Amino acid sequence: MPDVPEEQAAATVHRAMELGINHYETARGYGNSEEILGRALKGFDRSSFILTTKITPKHYGNFRKYIEESLARLQVDYLDNFDIHGINKEEQVDWTFKKGGALEAVQQAISEGLIRHIGFSSHGHLEIILQVIETGEFESVNVHYYYFNQRNLPVLKRAAELDMGVLIISPTDKGGQLHQSLQYLRELTSPYHPITMNHRFLLSHPEVTTVTVGAAHPDEFSPHLKALEIEGPLTEEERKIMARLDSQYGKLGNTLCTLCHQCLPCPEQINIPEVLRLRNLAIAFDMIEFGRYRYKMFENADHWFGGRKAVYCTKCNECLPRCPERLNIPALLIEAHEMLYREEGKRKWSD
């Protein structure tokens, strides 16, 4: 919402309400999104929509004040759901659970009726997400999981075992920039749009309770709604499409990274699995621009997208004996960097 004119954002929200979309998720950190969403929803019956906002635990010292500010910006008396935003590393875990921390402030707000349910979001490693889930303090988790990134499947499974809600973060954009899909990808998912197939993949998981849309214009809902025409497990036709997508990984031959993460930790703090995932997608699905979009975030997004670019590889080879696929990881990192790094003053590979 911060990236589009308010009139357009409001029209998109109103169209969503007309279509029966009733869960709206924002965050204090999304520019003026809370204010825009509050004004857009002002004319609707409060009981007709579910509202979620998020605040990072870094602000635990002012958490109560920030909760009240979010309520004021959204022009509501209570939040249906509140997420502690971005428990990505041990530092955020500490800020959340320490005495006087973020969780304590949220629990107090719940006792006063300002918040009805509590969840958390995470862009962190699988182990961090599972660690937070196991505390038993949360009713839902907001997580990355898509056809093109299935690393967090254990999160979905464990959340379901604990009767927690699962909200999927940005499946259209972070899931592959599917709103601007290449013709090649559209052909692979034909007769459906890639957005539709990604949603069907997600909704075929009984553990998933909410899939975000991320529409920025009232006319962008069609491929999202198409996914709702079929319920339950994937149909035979959909399974064939998924098999067609799966077969594209054959293009990588014996250089396919299976994303087991056993190569970590890297002494140079390179996020090897994510670099190689982007390489997988660039080669298998021609998703080079998506790879460049995500690769550029290394070193530029703090704990939201951790790790360093592949150019920092010193060829120490510590990762090699840990790789079950026996990949030549340093060579693949060089190739991925040359493929995905596109900036002025391009950083040269060090010998």
Structural domains of the chain, with CATH: 6-241 (3.20.20.100), 256-340 (no CATH)
* pLDDT score at 53: 98
Query: Phi/psi of residue 81, each to 5°?
Result: -145, 145
Q: Residues 24, 52: contact at Cβ < 8 Å? A: yes
- Return the pLDDT at 345: 46
What integer pLDDT is reported at residue 351 of this predicted model?
36
Three-state SS for 279?
Answer: helix
Distance in angstroms (rounded) separating the CA atoms of residues 125 and 304 = 11
For residue 197, the one-letter residue type is M
Handedness of CA 300, 305, 308, 310 (dihedral sign): negative
β-pairing, 165-168 vs 140-143, is parallel
Of 224, 219, 189, nearest to 203 by C-alpha is 224
Q: Flag residues of the chain having pLDDT under 70.
A: 1-2, 343-351
Question: Smallest Cα–Cα separation from 52: which of 27, 17, 15?
Answer: 27
Cβ 30 vs Cβ 2: under 8 Å? yes
pLDDT of residue 181: 80
Residue 69 CA to residue 60 CA, distance in Å, equals 14
Reduce the DSSP state of residue 1 to 3 states and report it: coil
**Looking at residue 90, what is its pLDDT?**
97
- Closest residue by Cα to residue 320 from 333, 307, 337: 333
Torsion sign across C-alpha atoms 261, 266, 269, 270: negative
Peptide bond into 171 cis (omega under 30): no
Residue of 158, 113, 156, 120 whose CA lies nearest to 138: 120
pTM of the model as a whole = 0.93
Spatial CA neighbour of 85 closest among 68, 103, 62: 103
CA distance 36 to 236: 42
